[in-house]
Amino acid sequence: MGCITDVKYLRVGQCRHLECIAARGGRFASVEFPSLCGLIHHSDIGWILFDTGYAEHFFTATKQFPQRLYSFALPVDLPQEQRLIAQLRCFGIAPEDIALVVVSHYHGDHVAGLKDFPRAKFIAMKAATEEMQYFSTRPWRATIQGKLPNMLPEDYFTRLNYVDDFGSIDLPNWMSPFSQAFDFLGDGSLLGIPLPGHSCGQLGLLLPDAVGRPVFFVADACWSLPACREGRAPSSLVNFLTHNGNAYRASFMKIKQLAEREPVLAILPSHCVKTWKEFNGG
């Protein structure tokens, strides 16, 4: 039976947002909005990514209209040393060593690096993928929704498995109010948990027996963990970006409950600079 032997929480580029957009009650001041992803080692299958953050492909994919609107609205900064490929190289990991990428959802800041991993299998939710396919022939709507279908590898669908096709298991009581998860490997070490609302078919990843403490990557189900603990959801100004507001609030409140009750669980959002610093000992 396999196990998780390493978990890293990496910063791969950033854009800037007004703080009051990321959380109600925040300042009317520009704050860093990093793109964070997970690098996980599993004893049986090797290196796994949870999302990819930004990548060079993002700049190529947003050169022309309408996609250029995306980078115009959210200017992205990706220093050389933050590029995922460069960070992996520092750990002695080649792009070909990535065996699996778990795709939380298809917003550009989560999937920009998928083309960099030629041998990886992919896991995503079926609903999210079908919506992405729908958008692939509707570039304006896709861009307004923050989706860039041209960032998927050409053979993406031949390497993709739907999380919905894996068996689901009951979660232990300490994960309440989450009760069910998809067991990717059948050994309970990598569990996919739907976190609907932010986008169509958003997927979180729970590592119940990660090194030292359990880890739960929650993608964009909350943007700021401190704000989530205080029950401060993102501003209604970003409602147009939210797939389903009621589902978003339900996922957000579940994470709030879990964060309050289980301080040992590392809840890792995709854009929370404070959580990233704390997890990395800063």
Give the residues lining the site for Zn ion (CB under 5 A).
107, 109, 220
Q: Which residues contact residue 157 at a Cβ distance below 8 angstroms, ignoring those fewer than 6 apart?
A: none
What element of type H or E holds 148? Answer: none
Closer to Zn ion by CB, 109 or 116: give it.
109
Least CB distance from residue 172 to Zn ion, whole Å? 28
Check: CB of residue 50 under 8 Å from CB of residue 22. no
Distance from C-alpha of 122 to C-alpha of 73, rounded to nearest angstrom: 29
What is the helix, strand, coil percentage profile of the chain, to 5?
A: 35, 25, 40
Q: What is the DSSP letter of 112?
A: T
Q: CA triplet 107, 214, 170: central angle to 5 degrees?
A: 85
At 212, list the tokens.
């030292």
**Would you call 281 helix, strand, or coil by DSSP?**
coil
In whole angstroms, the minimum distance from the beta carbon of 214 to Zn ion comes to: 23
Nearer to Zn ion, 4 or 200 (CB): 200
Q: How far is the CB of 37 from Zn ion (least distance, A)?
A: 10
| Residue number, 38 or 208, with CB nearest to Zn ion | 38
Task: Please report how close the Cβ of residue 270 comes to Zn ion at its closest, in angstroms.
Answer: 5
User: Which CB sits closer to Zn ion, 145 or 189?
Assistant: 145
Nearer to Zn ion (CB atom), residue 109 or residue 131: 109
CB atoms within 10 A of CB 60: 14
**Least gap, CB of 143 to Zn ion (angstroms):** 15
Residue among 9 and 166 whose Cβ is closer to Zn ion: 9
Beta carbon nearer to Zn ion, 114 or 171: 114
CB atoms within 10 A of CB 235: 17
| Helix, coil or strand: residue 192 | strand
| 130: Cβ contacts below 8 Å, ≥ 6 apart | none
Smallest gap from residue 81 Cβ to Zn ion (A): 21
> In whole angstroms, what is the distance from residue 227 CA to residue 217 CA?
17
Residue 110: CB minimum distance to Zn ion, A: 6
